[in-house]
Structure 1
Amino acid sequence: MSPVEALFLDLDRAWKGPEGDRITLRVIGSVALMLQSDYARATKDGDVLEIAALSEEVQRRLQKLGGEGTPLAIRHRVYLDIVRSGIPFLPKPAIYHPADDLNAKLKYFYVEILDIVDVVVSKLKRFKANDVADIEAMASRGLVDPKRLLERFRLALDANSMSAMSDDYGRFVANFRQVQRDFLFVDETEFDLPDWAD
């Protein structure tokens, strides 16, 4: 069992609330890659379990149980971080897959994992060393279809064209073309961007 799965189980055991409809937790970021492949990226401080935005009360309780510096986070070397909506660069609708094996063991939560290709798209925004390593790892495992990545990237550009991040589209495109060239070994795609996109 991975540290992330163990953290989910401990969060579920510690959760206090009425039984019934389970709370959906949508996992994004590198942990989503690890839950869908044999990939594991060890970090000095542990991994960040990024969860898409939830109600304020649920967020507060989750952070108190599994946020950075909590006993559960220290034990599993994974801490939970809530990512505000509007921050991730994603196509709309983003694609999530149920974590069936994990969900069968959970009472209060229902875990959905962001699709590998959509995670790769989201990492084109920040494109730090860890993001590049994650993308390369997925590409080297044959888990990133170039045509599907192009399709999802175009959808993300369209979906976020009215947001503040559209000012950085030129950089996102350059990052995407680097992935095509260096990791997928396909011809770089030409994009027609507005003049205001750098």
Structure 2
Amino acid sequence: MAADRVEATNNIKQINLALIDFENEYGTFPNSSTIPSVKAATSTTLALGNKTSNDLFRQLIAAGTKSEKIFWAKTAGTPRKGDDILGADALKKGECAFTYIAGLSTSSDLNAPVLLAPVIPGTWKFDPKPFQGKAVVLRIDGSAKPEPIDKNGDVMINGMNLFDPHQPYWHGKAPDIKWPE
């Protein structure tokens, strides 16, 4: 439904603000290198890892994001909204809908996607069902907009898959894709 896509777009914009706040504090968006600094600065007991978007988004919660609900969107992989129990259960499996591209910051190529939904975990493909054939894509420049998903499950930009390392914004390097749990 369109309302589900609007909610996903609103949530992705809220995550963008959290990413910017995080970068102001730690010098970059959450990645494996920021884990020690977040642990030292916050004394968090949250499980901070770097295998999934859930893992890396927990750094945003440790750094001050007050709600895990912004990480949710209505997709096949997210059966329940976060309940804001921010201890050991923060962003548990099924509470995060967004795929995250690790290793970026506001100084990255402004056209580079940083958050996306609904990506089918482990693939470069999008599920066309949740948002009526559209994907929600947040770019480094802060723009969040729906992109059409083609019949193959791809979002095509410049005639190439959005994730293709040949895209100008990836500068020949494959993106470090972190899918949600």
Same fold (TM over 0.5): no
Higher helix share: 1
Please say which structure displays the higher CA radius of gyration. 1
Report the TM-score when normalising by structure 1.
Answer: 0.27
